[in-house]
Amino acid sequence: MKNIILYNSRELFYEQGYFKTKISDITKKSGISIGNFYRCYNSKENLLSHIIKKELKIYTEDLRIRIPKEGDDILKLKMIMQSIFNFLKKNPFFFALLIELKANDEKLSNISKKDLNSFWDETNLLTIELLKYDEYFDKEKGEFLISMMESQVRLYIRHLFSGNKGKCNSTKLFFSHLEEDMNNISEIVINTFKSLNKNAIKKTIDPSTGAYTNKYFFELLRKTHDNGHSLNLIFLDLKTFYTTKNPQKIFFRDNIMTNIGILLKKYFRSTDSIGRLGPSKFMILILEKEDMHDIFKIEMGKIIEDLQIKFPCISWEDITWKHLYLNLKDDILDKFKELHSIKNNTIIH
């Protein structure tokens, strides 16, 4: 019976709002008597507390499973942001409830106010816990970063629920923009992190492309795989730019590399990691449980087309790419040996 009440009250709180929903509305929708309601919950606020705690448990457990304690802080921040937005996408009800309650918190008891803030408090504590494993972590800077991350996400969620009687527009258009918006907000947080941690970034980021340095990328790759993640890897080779006799290509070479870095970030998600393995080679680490070769083929085609628009001197033969899929049982070194045997995946125009 408790679960029936929980399910129906969630719907009513989303449709009517928490404060406009009466216990009689819940019992009528649930097909139970008011007496049976009070056998399960002492009050509507007691029911509210159970809902918030249940949703919070689902979210925090997912966050702890997804985010490795050790490893790259930038990747961890991206994954935390993605977890929040994935939770929003799956459960707009919960965020609509948080916004309504926050706007009317003077009507709530102190216990309910505490429950109301628990989502952000738990998210922030978990983020600090995950970031403090880095040798460059500064608690004061970390708390500032987390406060900024929370305010950015809160503002965005308020924007999503403005109008439409506080309901989230769950149309296809909304979901298509959610990924892009998540990437943009993540970039704000990541850039702030970089400015606060300049010493760490010097060792990890290639300044001309914004990709990870060779050594750091492979350390990240190893740690990510060791933490039990299946991976897709895309290996990019642009050696033609370094061996060509075409003076146009030599002149634009550094600019082309910078634009490659920009385009890789544009066409791959904020949780994907990009490494520059040398002057002419890149690798992209993608956290996915299944082989996504066909999707990558489309994305790489878009990247090459965009490059050609800006640099007409580039030919389709200038960029070659190969795809590796690593499941949990694969040995990384053994899989890398396969690169030589994999047929070139260059896209033919």
Determine if residue 232 is left, alpha or beta; phi over 0 gives left, psi from -120 to 50 gives alpha, anything else beta: beta
Q: Hey, how many other C-beta atoms are within 10 angstroms of the C-beta on 113?
A: 14
From CA 211, how far away is CA 196, in angstroms rounded?
18
Determine the pLDDT at residue 278: 79
Give the pLDDT band of residue 11 (cuts 50, 70, 90): confident
More confident residue, 158 or 243: 158
CA distance to 18, 88, 166, 196, per residue, from 107 (Å): 11, 25, 18, 39
Give the pLDDT score at 227. Answer: 72
Structure tokens at 70: 């050790």
pLDDT attached to residue 173: 37
Structure tokens that stand for 155 in this block: 């503002």
- For range 17-21, the mean pLDDT: 87
Which residue's entry shows tokens 């999503």?
160
DSSP string computed for 293-305: HHHHHHHHHHHHH
**Tens-digit pLDDT profile for residues 261-307:** 888 888 887 667 888 887 788 888 887 777 778 888 888 888 888 88
* pLDDT recorded at residue 349: 40
Instruction: Please give the share of the chain, as a percent, with pLDDT higher than 70.
Output: 79
DSSP assignment of 185-246: HHHHHHHHHHHH-HHHHHHHB-TTT-PBPHHHHHHHHHHHHHTT--EEEEEEE-THHHH---
Mean pLDDT of all residues in the chain? Answer: 77
Of residues 283 and 182, more confidence is placed in 283
Segment holding 73, helix H or strand E: helix 73-90
Q: Which residue has the higher pLDDT, 85 or 34?
A: 34
Residue 65 has pLDDT above 70, yes or no: yes
Domain segments of the chain as ranges: 42-201, 205-340
Averaged over 239-250, what is the pLDDT? 66
For residues 59 and 55, what is the distance between their CA atoms, to the nearest angstrom? 6
pLDDT, tens digit, 9 for 90 and up, residues 327-342: 877 887 777 777 777 7
pLDDT digits (tens, 9 = 90+) for 199-226: 555 567 777 788 888 878 887 787 777 7
Q: What is 42-201's CATH number?
A: 1.10.357
- C-alpha separations of 21 from 14, 45, 95, 167, 261 in Å: 10, 12, 17, 15, 51
Q: How far apart are CA 167 and CA 161, in angstroms?
A: 5
Residue 135 pLDDT > 60 = no
pLDDT of residue 327: 80
> 136-177, pLDDT tens digit by residue?
556 676 777 777 777 777 777 777 777 655 555 444 335 556
Instruction: Name the more confident of 38 and 127.
Output: 38
The predicted structure's pLDDT at residue 172: 39
205-340 fold: Alpha-Beta Plaits (3.30.70)
- Angle formed by the axes of helices 110-131 and 44-66, nearest 10°: 0
